[in-house]
Amino acid sequence: MKKAGFILLAVAAIVVGLIVGTLNSVPVSLDLLWVQFEIPLGLAILLGFSFGLLAGLSFIYTFRVLPLSLQLRKARAALAKKERHGQHKFSQDKPAISAPDD
């Protein structure tokens, strides 16, 4: 099922790329201080989208996913250390959540 979804997504990306490329075929000048390119507008749009997506995903990974995975690794190490030493937070005699008193 994952493979079919990936293939469907790849085909959709190719179709969108072809549509954007053919509808925006006017050449534009891209000036990068010391280098100047002349590329089709559709390619400039797709490159801008691709670099923006890559930058956004890198930002999210660096500032959200990576710290959370490090925090999870530390928590798992602390739990494993407590389990090795026989220190459990909850004992088997009493329930972890008590019933409310009425």
pLDDT at 6 over 90: yes
User: With contact defined as beta carbons under 8 Å apart, do 31 and 38 qualify?
Assistant: no
pLDDT bin (cut points 50, 70, 90) of residue 58 is: very high
Share of the chain above pLDDT 90, in %: 65
pTM of the model: 0.67
Please state, in angstroms and rounded to a whole number, the distance separating the CA atoms of residues 86 and 81. 9
pLDDT at 95 over 70: no
- pLDDT for the residue numbered 47: 92
Q: How many CB atoms lie within 10 A of CB 42?
A: 19
